């Protein structure tokens, strides 16, 4: 499925994200498990973009409220917990905005989970009530791999998957 998915998608990045958004919605139709939704998004994004080195979620720990704990991901071993305000993920969580880091070595406090990572994008994940539930973190082995089209594409997928009201289930 991995090769089949990326080969079937368009080369143009915005078009690829748009096609992928449709594929993800189709796969997840009727699925209310948050873990299943996050695992599927991580797997399908990682399969669709060769440049994605690490793709996955850090989830807000409900027991702490101000700490992220690793969720479903594709890639090498990620660090388990990130405090709000720390690293790229903790910054995106506190500021509730997408953070693009073109060069991770130039980002103060960047947390290096995979030493091959050169650039990164982190998108906040809100539920249907507007509460922060997680962040989506994508790392690339290339410098400046992410631009506004990645932010728009990932934000769209995150919004449709986690922020839309879930009929018949709370997720
Ligand atoms: N680099 C991230 C930490 C998570 S790993 O990249 C998987 C950060 O600075 O928040």
Q: What is the pLDDT of residues 2-13, one digit of tens each?
A: 555 656 788 899
CATH code (residue 120): 3.30.450.40
Choice between 109 and 165, residue whose per-residue pLDDT is larger: 109
What is the rounded CA–CA span in Å between residue 149 and residue 33? Answer: 28
Please give the model's pTM, rounded to 2 decimal places: 0.93
* Residue 154 included in any domain: yes
How far is the centre of ligand 1, averaged over its atoms, from the C-alpha of 121 (Å)?
Answer: 9
Q: Which of 52, 84, 88 has the most ligand 1 atoms within 8 A of CB, as the residue to mutate?
A: 88
Mean pLDDT of the chain: 93
Asked whether the beta carbons of 98 and 121 are under 8 A apart, the reply is: yes
- Our mutation pick for probing the ligand 1 site, out of 92, 112, 123, counting the most ligand atoms within 8 A of Cβ, is 112
Which residues are near ligand 1 (CB < 6 Å)? 54, 78-79, 82, 87-89, 110-111, 113, 117, 120, 137, 139
Residues comprising the chain, all counted? 171
At residue 9, the pLDDT reads 83
Host domain of residue 103: 2-163
Strands 119-126 and 132-140: antiparallel
Q: Is residue 168's pLDDT more than 60?
A: no
Cα separation, 67 vs 6, whole angstroms: 34
Kindly state whether residue 168 falls inside one of the protein's structural domains.
no
Interval 40-68: pLDDT, tens: 999 999 999 999 999 999 999 999 989 99
**pLDDT tens string 118-157:** 999 999 999 999 999 999 999 999 999 999 999 999 999 9
**Structural domain contains residue 57:** yes
Counting the structural domains of the chain, the total is 1
Helix (H, G, I), strand (E, B) or coil at 146: coil
Confidence label for 171 from pLDDT (cuts 50, 70 and 90) = very low
Question: Does 93 map to a domain?
Answer: yes
């Amino acid at each position: 499925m991995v090769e089949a998915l990326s080969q079937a998608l368009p080369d143009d990045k915005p078009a690829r994200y748009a096609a992928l958004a449709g594929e993800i919605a189709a796969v997840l139709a009727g699925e209310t498990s948050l873990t299943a939704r996050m695992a599927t998004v991580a797997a399908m994004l990682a399969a669709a973009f060769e440049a994605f080195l690490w793709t996955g979620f850090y989830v807000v720990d409900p027991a702490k409220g101000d700490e992220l704990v690793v969720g479903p991901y594709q890639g090498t071993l990620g660090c388990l917990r990130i405090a709000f305000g720390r690293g790229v993920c903790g910054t995106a969580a506190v500021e509730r905005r997408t953070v693009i880091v073109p060069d991770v070595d130039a980002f103060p406090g960047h947390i290096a989970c995979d030493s091959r990572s050169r650039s990164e994008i982190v998108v906040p994940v809100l539920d249907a009530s507007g509460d922060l539930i997680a962040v989506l973190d994508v790392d690339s082995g290339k410098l400046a791999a992410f631009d506004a089209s990645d932010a728009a594409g990932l934000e769209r997928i995150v919004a449709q998957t986690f922020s839309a009201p879930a009929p018949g289930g709370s997720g």
